[in-house]
Amino acid sequence: MRLDVWLWAARFFKTRVLAKQAIESGKIRIHDGAGKASKLLHVGDRLRIARGEEQFEVDVLVLLAQRGSAVVAQSCYRETETSRAARAQAAEQRRLNATGYIKPPTKPDKRARRLIHALGDIDAF
């Protein structure tokens, strides 16, 4: 089974094109080596997947050719305990970093937008 098809079927990416772009940019590693979209995937392979700020390390359990429900997709791989702990720690760190930020209650009005633009905080289109 192709690597890009499996990543799409296992619901790590919404489309095969996004999966292929992630593979080509080096965000997907197979056994700590670079992968190709056409690389054949086997049961027992270990993948490292970088998706946004999240890092997954999974073992392939089942090869899926079609995209199914989330329950079926989650049953085709097993995430390692170290990966799960690292993701939880990173999420907690992101939550702690965002504690000082207070979201404004509304969008800026016309006058406020002009002031923001005059200060140079928003690029002109």
How far is Cα 11 from Cα 27, in angstroms, rounded to an integer?
16
Of 19-28, 60-69, 83-92, 115-124, which gets the smallest average pLDDT?
115-124
Within a domain: 105: no
Please give the tally of structural domains in the chain. 1
Q: Is residue 115 part of a domain?
A: no
Tell me what the mean pLDDT of segment 92-107 comes to: 83
In a domain, 19, yes or no: yes
pTM (two decimals)? 0.74
DSSP 29: E
For 39-58, how does the pLDDT look when each residue is reduced to its tens digit (9 = 90+)? 889 999 999 999 988 999 99
Kindly state the greatest CA–CA separation across the chain.
60
Give the C-alpha separation, 12 to 50, whole Å: 10
* Residue located via tokens 């791989």: 77
SS3 89: helix
Position 95 in a domain: no
45 inside domain: yes
Q: Please report, for the domain that includes residue 62, its CATH number.
A: 3.10.290.10
Task: Give me the domain span that covers residue 52.
Answer: 3-89
